[in-house]
Structure 1
């Protein structure tokens, strides 16, 4: 009998597995229905020897030193500041919108102070900021909203911004200076040897058994544990008894091109044209030296693996029904983006997992074990490629 069954080997599940195994000396069975660790942050070498992110670009950034320090136990870092261009009106301009964006797009020569007035003249008064549309038009006006946000958001979410919560576009700031970094966090870096190697180091403990290609629903009661941490979709845990929570999915087209570089920055967004939302070139992220380059074209989809909870009031109301039911289940913790129906960044998930561990440590008596190697379930699944 394991002390803990953890469902999902992404950030939430892996951090909790490491903490429970190392800090409490307890035995953990970590399962994932996929054939790899790392969840959506999984990276690997493609057939051409280029390191790619299988599920689209993952760029680490945080203002939380404890989170950065915790992950630094498992990886050295490659400093990296993310920059994104948007193809608008036939030009590639910085996004988030900044001083250079406006000057280039409109052929102007504004100063920062002049740009503040320029935005103010175009901003539309909104009595109450409720929707993703409200956020943008109240700051920069209708024209920039149409150029940069409406089309991209409709592709990404399958809904008009007026139907989505304000949090969707509030994530992208508007600047009046020339700072063209996508993020301004204190700590911005990429795991030097990739995310998968970081997860491998995190899970390298004799108290952790990893079973890949293993679905929670297929486990018999004898393979379960005293307590469970569930990081999958909360509605799936309860067999969708109140109905399915809506998610947006993604489809990825991975290609290798016979050129050293394809684009000037890691990501180019396409808010006005194309079916895909963005194109990622990984060598910008990884620093890999190679005479070819790997790209991913990202297509939002209504069907497929759940990636993004769709933020709107009716979906939150449905989630709250599942949340109330989850609170009544003894010895089960629900952690992570899918289990809590929130769009978290990676550092936020790590923070949530560490906070959950602290609550567990305060509330759950520790199991007394010798320091010993745990048995391995599904041994063939442990070849982490």
Structure 2
């Protein structure tokens, strides 16, 4: 008999497994249908021996000291500030758009103050900012919107920005200084030995049993457990009772090149050309020394594993119907990006999982005395 069956071995499920085992002394069965732990943050050595992220680049950044302190129990850190270039009009320029972006693109020598006026002269007033198109056009005008945002967004989401909630492009700011960092959080770093090693340490506890290549529907019928934490798609949990929630998926093509470096930064975006949205070169992220380099070409797709909830009002209304069912489920907690149909950064998922643990701990009260673990100890299949 397990105290908890946790579905999904990504950040949400793994953090809760660790807290419940270590802080409450309870027995946890953590299951994942994939052959590894770590969810989308899973990284591995490829055939050439280069450390890559199987599901595209994952860059850790946060303003929360508490989240850094928690994760630091399981990893050392490599300082890394993420920089992205966009291939626009045949040249690679910084994104988010900043002073250097505009000066290079247009052959200008504007100052920060002059750039503010330059943007203002091109901005189109929008009375009611509702869509992603509204956000960009009202700030920097239609020409830059066309160069940087429209094509990329259409590829990424399969929808025009005018059909998407404003939050999509609001995530990418526009700057009038020369700050070319993609993020401005106070803490920006990568796990020194990779994400997979961090997850392995997090789950290395005698009260945690990890079962990969396992489907929740099969496990829940045959393995006794008292309570469930579910981090998978909420519509799937309820057998798609009201229909499927729309997600955007991704297809990744991993290649190795017989050169030490392919591009000047970790990520180059392609808003104007090609079917892929971006190319990632991982050695920039990891600091690995290797005579070869490995890249990932990223192709958005309507089919495949769910990655991004599609931010439209009708989709949120459908989620609310599932959320009402979830609230009525006894002894089941829904946590994480897929279970709450919301895009979270990694630190936000960790924060949500830690908050969920505090809620569970308060709700259930003092746990029973910890039982001794099985002699076999934990089982990890992390690749």
Q: What TM-score do you get using the length of structure 2 for normalisation?
A: 0.98
Residue 128 of structure 1 deviates from its aligned partner by 1.4
Name the counterpart of 1:257: 257
Q: CA RMSD in A?
A: 1.2
1:129-148 maps to which residues of 2 (within 5 A)?
Answer: 129-148=129-148
- CA distance in 2 between partners of 1:255 and 1:126 (Å): 43
Deviations 1:4-35 (A, max 9, x none): 11000000000000000001111100000000
Q: CA deviation at 1:382?
A: 3.1
Q: How many residues align?
A: 383
**Is 1:341 aligned with 2:341?**
yes
Contact 2:26 2:370 in 1 (8 A): no
Q: Deviations over 1:175-196 (max 9, x none)?
A: 0000000000000000000000
Matches within 5 A, 1:258-297: 258-297=258-297
Match of 1:66 in 2: 66
1:368 Cα deviation after fit: 1.5
Aligned counterparts of 2:175 and 2:262: Cα–Cα separation in 1: 27
The equivalent of 2:313 in structure 1 is 313
Structure 2 distance, partners of 1:285, 1:376, is: 36
For residue 35 of structure 1, what is the aligned residue in structure 2?
35
Q: 1:367 to 1:221 in 2, by over 3 A?
A: farther
1:198 to partner: Cα distance = 0.3
Structure 1: tracts of 5 or more residues without a match: none
Q: How far does residue 364 in structure 1 lie from its aligned partner after superposition? A: 1.0
**1:240-282 CA distance string (max 9 Å, x none):** 0000000000000000000000000000000000000000000
Moved over 6 A (4+): none
Deviation string for 1:323-371 (max 9, x for gaps)? 0110000110000000000010000000000000010011013441335
- The whole-number CA distance in structure 1 between the counterparts of 2:152 and 2:382 is 36
Task: Give the structure 1 partner of residue 382 of structure 2.
Answer: 384
Matches within 5 A, 1:338-377: 338-374=338-374
The reply to whether residue 149 of structure 1 matches residue 154 of structure 2 is no
Give 1:376 shift: 6.0
Q: Which runs of 5+ in 2 are unaligned?
A: none
Relative distance call for 1:34 and 1:376 in structure 2 (3 A) is farther
1:52 aligns with 2:75: no
Secondary structure of the residue that 1:304 maps to in structure 2? Answer: coil
Query: What is aligned with 1:322?
Result: 322
For the residues of structure 1 that align with 2:356 and 2:166, how far apart are their CA atoms?
A: 27
